[in-house]
Amino acid sequence: MPNDYDQEKFHTADTFWKIDTLTGEKSRIVDLNKIISSYDATDLFFNTDESILFFTNRLDGKLYRIMLK
């Protein structure tokens, strides 16, 4: 059902990608071998210069960051 995710009836195992919208080329932001835990990312946002991606992990409720530059 469409609302099952919002009602936390299930969780996802997210990975992180960068996509060039002009070419369609995609690349991982974080290599799979560097992901040491499971993440169900929600509430994603950037800092002012878009060099850091922040998200809340629904699995543990903690705030995480990924350095992009």
Nearest in space to 41 (alpha carbons), one of 29, 26, 24: 29
User: CA 27, CA 11: separation in Å to the nearest integer?
Assistant: 23
Share of the chain above pLDDT 70, in %: 99
Nearest to 30 by CA among 69, 58, 66: 66
Among 9-18, 49-58, 59-68, the range scoring the smallest mean pLDDT is 9-18
The residue among 1 and 52 whose pLDDT is bigger is 52
Given pLDDT bands bounded at 50, 70 and 90, which one contains residue 3? confident
Quote the CA–CA distance of 40 and 27 in Å, as a whole number. 19
Torsion angle, alpha carbons of 36, 3, 9, 60, to 10: 40
Whether this prediction's pTM lies above 0.75 is answered by yes
Average pLDDT, the chain: 92
